[in-house]
Structure 1
């Protein structure tokens, strides 16, 4: 559950404009029989920098059973048409645990150290130079890179290596064709959509990170639609979780140029 904000936030990072712009997304998330969460994302992409902020909080009965809230922030720069993270911050709270993490990079986007805490106990770990770190990024920047790719070539197919100072894994995106999404009480953005999938490969996870565990075993599907000539993510779906299927529907989208 801990990475739900990161995954859904990434799905919001799409626009065709090359100029500076910002987008705010709100998703309603259902898991099995539960109206489970409200998630908000805001991000800004500029010619020389980018920033992504998100928050997620469980809702209603699901919040009583599985309370969780988290905030995420990534800031970085654009260098030679590549997105380089400079700082990543995360904090979360469940029923029993409070966690935080910070990743700090040098000006070339190389990870220098990570700081983490759990229930008041903290540690700082320096990251040794390793060729395996070259070309890796943090989890949020993956989605910003995908957004820029989609702006240029209008497809999702890609594979991006991630290193968070502790774990290494690949995030794989694939095109899955097109579908028509019907309007409903849950979803007001009916119409033709491009379908893509995301798969997290080579991930070994041993903490209270439910969504990362399930996404390591099966794909996450998402549908891209357009409003006012700009693409956005309308729906996200995971076939199975321990509590049933997960569906996220865009409830509100605000775009500012």
Structure 2
């Protein structure tokens, strides 16, 4: 399990389709491995009637630069039409150690998305499974996919469904499964305490993956979702995974929505 894999499930803000006025949600998640602070994910979500935008920024702990450095910025924009979520564009830039890569995707309603890669590109495309461009017409970007899933959780209380995703390099399907409710006690690391809905995220590779290799998306993620305050929006509040290096934990350390501003005691 890597910090890059965790990002897919946590660089997300959520809302409810049909909001009558402009609203903004900000949150920060902190990540710990074996008790050591590894970095943060900051997310801003904006929604106005029939449109949305998401911006997410990830940074590793600068005290660990001698070991690894990871920075990433992702953004998505799109339209909301009834129960439909229609992404218009997605951008992503990351730096892992000294390696930089990114992608820009422009979604189209009647044609496959246009996309362009930046940074390191595949040396030999023949070593990867092919992308079926017609099938990409059904896909959305990673941030929009998780947003769509949380819309569903808010509307009917269920964590389930399949969401096809294209990130500019790989095409895969996110599968969600309800794993019940868990209760979390008060913590210095998190603004949340109480019961949260559990969602298990698994993946089905469709195209753009290296052949005969075990890609990290094969790992499952269990993420717990809840509103930190009554009347608030549902967001990821906790995740815990056992690894060979120790427990990998994610906590909601800051939450800002409307007149509510929360911060944990250990907020960075």
TM-score normalized by structure 1? 0.82
Return the match for 1:135 from 135, 138, 153. Answer: 138
- Long gaps (5+) in structure 1: 123-127, 207-211
Among residues 35, 38, 50, which one is paired with 2:37 in the alignment?
35
What whole-Å deviation, never above 9, does each CA across 1:199-237 have from its counterpart, x for those lacking one? 22227755xxxxx94442223322324413123335332
Residue among 162, 166, 185 paired with 2:165: 162
Q: What is aligned with 1:178?
A: 181
Structure 2, unaligned runs of 5 or more: 123-130, 260-268
TM-score (norm 2): 0.79
Which deviates more from structure 2 when the two are superposed, residues 143-152 or residues 86-95?
A: 143-152
> SS at 2:181's partner residue?
strand
**Does the Cα contact within 8 Å between 2:182 and 2:197 map onto a contact in 1?**
yes
For the residue of structure 1 that corresponds to 2:113, the secondary structure is: strand
Matched, 1:93 2:103: no
Superposed CA RMSD in Å reads 3.0
SS of the equivalent of 2:159 reads coil
Equivalenced residue count is 246
Secondary structure of the residue that 2:234 maps to in structure 1? Answer: strand
Q: Distance in 1 between matches of 2:99 and 2:11?
A: 23
Cross-structure match for 2:126: none
Aligned partners of 2:112 and 2:134 also within 8 Å:
no
TM-fit CA distance, 1:66: 1.3
CA distance in 1, matches of 2:114, 2:184: 44
CA distance in 1, matches of 2:89, 2:101: 17
Aligned in 2, Cα 1:133/1:15: closer, same or farther, shift over 3 Å? closer
Q: 1:148 aligns with which of 146, 151, 164?
A: 151
Output the CA distance in 1 between the equivalents of 2:104 and 2:144.
14
1:132 CA drift (Å): 1.8
Per-residue deviation, 1:28: 1.1
